[in-house]
Amino acid sequence: MLEVRDLEIRYGPFLAVDKVSLEVRQGEIVGVIGPNGAGKSSVVRAITGLVRPTGGTVSFLGQSTLDVPVHELIRRGLSLVPEGRGLFPMMSVEENLLMGGYSLTDRSRRDELMASCFELFPILKERRNQLAGTLSGGQQQMVAVSVGLMGDPQFCIFDEPSLGLAPIVIQQIGETLQKMRQLKLTVLLIEQNAMLASSVADRIYIMSAGRMQFHDTPDRLMKNPEVIEKFLSA
Ligand SMILES: Nc1ncnc2c1ncn2[C@@H]1O[C@H](COP(=O)(O)OP(=O)(O)O)[C@@H](O)[C@H]1O
Ligand SMILES: [Mg+2]
């Protein structure tokens, strides 16, 4: 479904992403983990056309995503829940959701999607008229996920959904990601939290210093002594 080949990204002379390849097949949840500064968000930005790579290819459903505007990628079924959530804090929960669904011309589909977000996160239904900026961090993350779902995607990218959240809320995020499976969504999950990623992902890539270092199932990675020493023994 998504294929990234030999991606290279430079910021001026700085090589942030060095020949990174990864693949996500339909129906999978794939994790990319790695420390701060590894280049994870840069890969996401290249996939979603926000950064122009200096090398390599990205294809989504067999078509290149490079130089494709974001609204066209949404139309093709790709959705991004960005790092830091990207909400409009001075708008209500419902208004934020409507922004996520702005490209839908079918109003009944839009209403249906909003209903399913409220089913996924009942607290958001209760707080639909509250300003997004006044919600707790965990609730804001629920709004961010809902905004992504309102684009009616087949494929969702989550960039560090657990960032800055309390352990109990991180657990809820894990449960939410599992629900993406029931919704038949394909997911690329970017995380620094290796435990969260390995509890939901089918396969995991480990990235550091701009390179893909390992790639395996979570079970096998968690038993790999080199992985444990380098990435899990913080
Ligand atoms: N716009 C930018 N200009 C210059 N350097 C950047 C920019 N964005 C990211 N970087 C650098 O690229 C590296 C990778 O960043 P990023 O992709 O955000 O990593 P991660 O998401 O894994 O934390 C870091 O060293 C970061 O400082
Ligand atoms: Mg990042």
Domain residue limits at 94: 2-232
Strand partners for 214: 206
Q: For residue 222, list its beta bridge partners.
A: none
CB atoms within 10 A of CB 130: 14
Ligand 1 binding pocket mutation candidate from 4, 8, 11, 22 (most atoms within 8 A of CB) = 11
Task: Choose one of 7, 32, 41 to mutate for the ligand 1 pocket test, by most ligand atoms within 8 angstroms of C-beta.
Answer: 41
**Amino acid residing at 173:** I
Q: How far is the CA of 42 from the centre of ligand 1 (A)?
A: 6
Strand order in the sheet with 2-11: 14-24, 2-11, 55-60, 63-64
Q: Which atom of ligand 1 is nearest to the CA of 45?
A: 17
Task: Tell me the backbone φ, ψ of residue 96, rounded to 5 degrees.
Answer: -60, -45
CA distance 167 to 60: 33
Output the tens digit of pLDDT for each of the chain's 234 residues. 999 999 999 999 999 999 999 999 999 999 999 999 999 999 999 999 889 999 999 999 999 998 888 889 988 999 999 888 889 999 999 999 999 988 788 899 999 999 999 999 999 999 999 999 999 999 999 999 999 999 999 999 999 999 988 898 899 889 989 888 888 899 999 999 999 999 999 999 999 999 999 999 999 998 888 888 888 775
Q: How many domains does the chain have?
A: 1
pTM over 0.85: yes
Ligand 2 centre distance from Cα of residue 112 (Å): 32
Ligand 1 atom closest to Cα of 12? 4
CB 78 within 8 Å of CB 157? yes
Determine which residue's CA is closest to atom 24 belonging to ligand 1: 37
- Domain of 23: which CATH number? 3.40.50.300
